[in-house]
Amino acid sequence: MAMKYRAFWEALVVSLFIFGLGFVLGVLLENSRSQDLGVLYAQSETDLLDAQILSSMLENSNYSCEKAIQKNTEFGDKIYSDSVKLEEYSGSSQLSRLTDSQHRKYDLLRTIFWVNSIKITEQCGKRFHTVVYLYDYNTDNIEEKSKQAVFSRALTELKEEFGSELILIPIAKNMGLSSLDLMLEKYSLTGTTILLDENQVFSSVETLSNLKSKLASDRVSILLN
């Protein structure tokens, strides 16, 4: 009887130890991820300010468009890779409140970057495609979630195919950003939508093939500019 009693307590202690170790490791992992998000945001903020300054310099002097376009394109690629990591972290329940806050900051940065990309195109001509993907963050609508999953997958494939020729800017439009609301009003955008080069709207799954065709048909002219 004493042997069974001892075995029971040994098993209980081992179980509690494993549970406690898992909990501690989980907390450490979440803390590490939150620090990663903070570092990513700080780097993105600095890079965007750099791109904005380059854009402003173009307005009043003969600074190279090539440099501004290169910096803008590099930041666009970074925005895309950061968005992938942010969505991965969003699946963590421990980080949900933090990522909501960080997501809003990133959406503001992406909106500023969108405006900056428009300015560079106006000053230097069309040297890249700007694809703005507008969606609802954390929506409870099942149909909308399904549509967003299709759009996201299609845009990922397009980004992989066209690379730096395509600046992909995913922005959650339901984060209460006044600057973004003005842009949505300016271009009459509602719902889950893709805006190509500020002049073509794709708002249904059926039109995604048209988006790819348009990008492919413009590819030669973009490269020759």
Structural domain spans, the chain: 2-224
- Among the CATH numbers 3.40.50.2020, 3.40.50.10800, 3.40.50.970, 3.40.30.10, which is that of 2-224? 3.40.30.10
Confidence of residue 12 (pLDDT cuts 50, 70, 90): very low
- pLDDT, residue 44, reads 64
Condensed to tens digits (0 to 9), the pLDDT of residues 47-65 reads 666 666 666 665 665 667 8
Burial of 48 (0-12, 13-18, 19+ CB in 10 A): buried
- pLDDT, residue 122, reads 87
Residue written as token pair 């494939």:
157
Round to whole Å and give the CA distance between 103 and 219.
Answer: 32
Condensed to tens digits (0 to 9), the pLDDT of residues 197-223 reads 999 999 999 899 899 899 988 764 554
Give the pair of three-digit tokens for residue 133: 């993907």
Which amino acid is present at 191? G
Beta bridge partners of 200: 196
Condensed to tens digits (0 to 9), the pLDDT of residues 167-203 reads 999 999 999 999 999 999 999 999 999 999 999 999 9
Task: Judge whether residue 34 has pLDDT over 60.
Answer: no
Round to whole Å and give the CA distance between 110 and 71.
Answer: 15
- Ranked by mean pLDDT, the top range of 32-36, 119-123, 186-190 is 186-190
Task: Judge whether residue 134 has pLDDT over 90.
Answer: yes
User: Of 13-22, 94-103, 108-117, 150-159, which range is least confident?
Assistant: 13-22
What is the DSSP track for the chain?
A: -HHHHHHHHHHHHHHHHHHHHHHHHHHHHHHHHHHHHHHHHHHHHHHHHHHHHHHHHHHHS---HHHHHHHHHHHHHHHHHHHHHHHHHHT-STTHHHHHHHHHHHHHHHHHHHHHHHHHHHHH---SEEEEEEE-TT---HHHHHHHHHHHHHHHHHHHHHGGGEEEEEEETTS--HHHHHHHHHTT--SSEEEETTTEEE-SGGGHHHHHHHHHHHHHHHHH-
